[in-house]
Amino acid sequence: MQYAATVHRDYHEEDGLVQEFLSFILGDEEYAIDILTVQEIRGYDPVTAIANAPAFIKGVINLRGTIVPIVDLRIKFGVGKVEYTAFTVVIILNIGARVMGIVVDSVSDVVSLAADAIHPTSDFSSQIGAGFLKGLGTVGERMLILLDIERMMHSRDMALVDSDDAE
């Protein structure tokens, strides 16, 4: 899978570096993350809750023998209705050497964005937090919010890593 993703990340003849993103839905908004950080996509399994953790950390699951923390981005960003149905999706990310999962409403598709299709955002205040936005992408009529997921998941306010290794 990693291999396939790498193959697609190449130069198009005219429009420079093209990057592929996985887009997903949170409430009414469409977000996208670098596809190279995605390990797999699965349904939502019941989690084991963690005491005294922030509400958006749902808990941990057993992913084939490893313990993987699960973050609900809907709670973190304060968008959408937080409910867990048969259609709720967990995107398992592989960032650095760490594996973690994010809960989203649904996954929409894989989009290729050329560098010039990504518009930088000025730091507007939002739940997402400054610095975790890569920019906004446009695909036809749709607007994608591009997340810098690596930076976000390692940040201190996600409380996913020990504070001494957090950036």
Interface with other proteins, residue 167, by CB under 8 A: no
55 touches other proteins by CB under 8 A: no
- Nearer Cβ to other proteins (133/160): 160
Asked if 53 is part of the footprint of other proteins (rule: CB under 8 A), the reply reads yes
Residue type at 53 in one-letter notation? A
Q: Verify binding: residue 149, other proteins, rule CB under 8 A.
A: no
Is 152 a binding residue for other proteins by CB under 8 A? The answer is no
All residues at 6 or more sequence positions from 25 whose CB lies less than 8 Å from its CB, including other chains: 31, 104, 105, 106, 107, 108
42 binds other proteins (CB under 8 A): no
Does position 49 bind other proteins by CB under 8 A? yes
Give Dmax over CA atoms of the chain in angstroms.
Answer: 52
Q: Closest distance between other proteins and the C-beta of residue 66, in Å?
A: 7
Asked if 134 contacts 147 with a C-beta cutoff of 8 angstroms, the reply is yes
- Per-residue x/- marks for other proteins, 62-101, CB under 8 A? x--xxxxx----------------------------xxx-
Closest CA to 81 of 72, 90, 91: 72
The contacts of residue 146 (CB under 8 Å, 6+ apart) are 21, 31, 32, 33, 113, 118, 133, 134, 135, 136, 137
Are 5 and 34 in contact, with CB atoms under 8 Å apart? Answer: no
Radius of gyration over alpha carbons of the chain, in Å? Answer: 16
| String of contacts with other proteins for each residue 108-147, x by CB under 8 A | ----------------------------------------
Identify any residues that bridge with 25 across adjacent strands, giving them in sequence order: 30, 106
Residue closer to other proteins (CB basis): 48 or 138 = 48
In the complex, the residues that contact other proteins under the rule CB under 8 A are 46-53, 59-62, 65-69, 98-100, 159-163
